[in-house]
Amino acid sequence: MKRQLQKLIFFFELHSYGVCLWWARKLGINPYKVRLGFIYFSFIGLGSPILLYLIMAWILEHQHYFKLQAKPKKTIWEL
């Protein structure tokens, strides 16, 4: 039983999407506090923040589709 639990924990750590870490970097705070806040909001919101987390994880996984392609800046010699 303990080995199965360790496998499960390892699976989630390996396949976690880093949404909380991304938010922590953007906000400049400790990732632990973001994860803890997410857990509290999940209990208060009866699990609905999990859907929001999955949407954010999908967006982070495919963020290269959402970034606008910036035009290369012209140098003074190309004017």
Question: Which domain, by its residues, includes 63?
Answer: 2-78
Residue pLDDT, tens place only, 19-56: 888 888 888 998 888 888 888 888 888 878 888 888 88
Mean pLDDT of the chain: 78
Number of domains in the chain: 1
The string of DSSP codes covering the chain is -HHHHHHHHHHHHHS---HHHHHHHHHTS-HHHHHHHHHHHHHHTTTHHHHHHHHHHHHHHTHHHHS--PPPPPPGGG-
- Is the pLDDT confidence value at 7 over 70? yes
